Amino acid sequence: MTEMEVKLGQLTLKNPLLTASGTFGYGREFAQLYDLSLLGGVVVKGTTLEPRPGNPPPRIAETAAGMLNSVGLQNPGLGQVIDQELPWLAQFDTAIFVNIAGRKAAEYQEIAACLDKVESVRALEVNISCPNVEAGGLAFGTDPKAAAAITAAVRDATSKPVFVKLSPNVTDIVPIAQAVEAAGADGITLVNTFLGLAIDIKTRRPLMANIVAGLSGPAIKPLALRLVWQTARAVRIPVIGIGGIMSGQDALEFMLAGARAVQIGTANFYNPLAGPQIIREMAGWLENEGVRDINEIVGEAL
C-alpha cells in the first residue's frame, strides 16, 4: 500500500485530498453518501463576520467544460459557523480548514482571532481571490502589497497555519506568492476561479445578475497547473493545487507540478462521490507504479 499521508508544514493530512471551499457546504449533504473521515480535509465556505445573502440570481451557469459562479460569498456568518457548523463537522476525522473573507484587513483579523480559539479548526484559508464581491476579494489578491497586508494581519491574529488562496487573474503570480510568503503565510492555495462572462442571446444581455463570474472545472486545468508549477518553483512554503481536478490522474499531475495537496471543487457538483473516488484512483495508480510514498512524486516535474 502506498503511504498517502502528507505534511503541509506543521500540519499533517492523512491523504492529500481536500474539498474546496464553496463546493461542499459544511459537508452535511455529502455525509449522507460517504464517511467524511475518508477525506484529507474539508475547506468550508468563505466565512465573513456577518451573514451574507450573496449576489442575486442568476448566479450559476454551466459551460462547455465547467461552470461559472457569481455566488458572492453567501454564508451564515462567523457566529453560526462556530456555533453550529464546525461542532457538527468535528465529529469526522478530517482536517477542517475555514476559508475566511472580509471587506478590510481588520475584518480578516477579527475572524482569524475568533477562529484561533476554536480547537477543531486545523487551518485558515485566507480568501483574497473571490471575483464576485465589490469590496475585498480579488482587489486584495491582485496586488502584492495588499495581499501581504492581509496575510500579515491574519498571521498576527492566529497561531494556526495560514494558507492564502490566490487568484489566477493576474499578469504574474510569482510576486504575489512571494509577498504572502514573506508576510508569514504557511502555505498557498491556488487557483481560485478565472474571470468569465456568459451572454443570454435571447435577452442579448449578460446572463449573470452580477455580470462577471468565476470559471472553474476541467476547462481551467492546464491554466491552473501552469500557475501551480510556476509558484512551486518560486516559494518554499507548501502549495495546495486546485483547478479542474476530476480524476486521480489529474490530482497527481498537480502533485508532480509541486503541489503537496490538492482540492476538488467543481467535481463535487457533478459527482458527489468524487472525493473518495479520486483518493482511490491516486492510491491505485501509485501502487501500480510501485511508488511507496506519495511524497516521492511531489515536484518531480519541476
Q: Single out the residue of 19, 127, 178, 266 in contact with ligand SIN (rule: CB under 6 A).
A: 127
Touching ligand SIN, residues 242-281 (CB under 6 A):
none
Q: Which residues contact 262 (CB under 8 A, 6 or more apart)?
A: 16, 17, 18, 240, 241, 242, 245, 251, 254, 255
Task: Identify whether the C-beta of residue 227 lies closer than 8 Å to the C-beta of residue 269.
Answer: no
**Interface stretch with ligand SIN, choices 82-90, 123-131, 175-183, 293-301 (CB under 6 A):** 123-131
| Closest CB 286 distance from ligand SIN, rounded Å | 31
Touching ligand SIN, residues 195-214 (CB under 6 A):
214
| Closest CB 72 distance from ligand SIN, rounded Å | 5
Let me know if 114 is a catalytic residue: no
Q: Site for ligand SIN (CB under 6 A): how many residues?
A: 14
x-or-dash string of contact with ligand SIN, 13-32, rule CB under 6 A: ---------x----------
For residue 52, list its beta bridge partners.
75
Closest to ligand SIN by CB, 101 vs 286, is 101
Q: Which residues contact 171 (CB under 8 A, 6 or more apart)?
A: none
Cell of 193: 476561479
Q: Single out the residue of 142, 193, 230, 231 in contact with ligand SIN (rule: CB under 6 A).
A: 193
For residue 61, list its beta bridge partners.
68
**Interface stretch with ligand SIN, choices 9-17, 89-97, 125-133, 194-202 (CB under 6 A):** 125-133
Q: Which residues contact 33 (CB under 8 A, 6 or more apart)?
A: 272, 273
Q: Single out the residue of 40, 46, 102, 275 in contact with ligand SIN (rule: CB under 6 A).
A: 46
Q: Which residues contact 53 (CB under 8 A, 6 or more apart)?
A: 74
Task: Identify whether the C-beta of residue 2 lies closer than 8 Å to the C-beta of residue 246.
Answer: no
Give the residue among 121, 118, 130 at the shortest CA–CA distance from 48: 130
Closest to ligand SIN by CB, 29 vs 289, is 29
x-or-dash string of contact with ligand SIN, 65-104, rule CB under 6 A: ----x-xxx-------------------------------
Catalytic residue among 130, 138, 219, 278: 130
Closest to ligand SIN by CB, 264 vs 294, is 264
Cell of 247: 480524476
Closest to ligand SIN by CB, 69 vs 230, is 69
**Burial degree of 292 (CB within 10 A; 0-12, 13-18, 19+):** exposed
**Interface stretch with ligand SIN, choices 84-92, 129-137, 228-236, 282-290 (CB under 6 A):** 129-137
Q: Taking the chain, what is the end-to-end CA distance rounded to the nearest angstrom?
A: 26
Q: Which residues contact 249 (CB under 8 A, 6 or more apart)?
A: 281, 285
Contact status: 164 vs ligand SIN (CB under 6 A): no
Give the residue among 194, 250, 261 at the shortest CA–CA distance from 42: 261
Q: Edge-to-edge strands of the sheet including 212-216?
A: 60-63, 66-69, 212-216, 194-197
Interface contacts to ligand SIN, rule CB under 6 A: 22, 46, 69, 71-73, 127, 129-132, 192-193, 214
> So which residues are the catalytic ones?
130
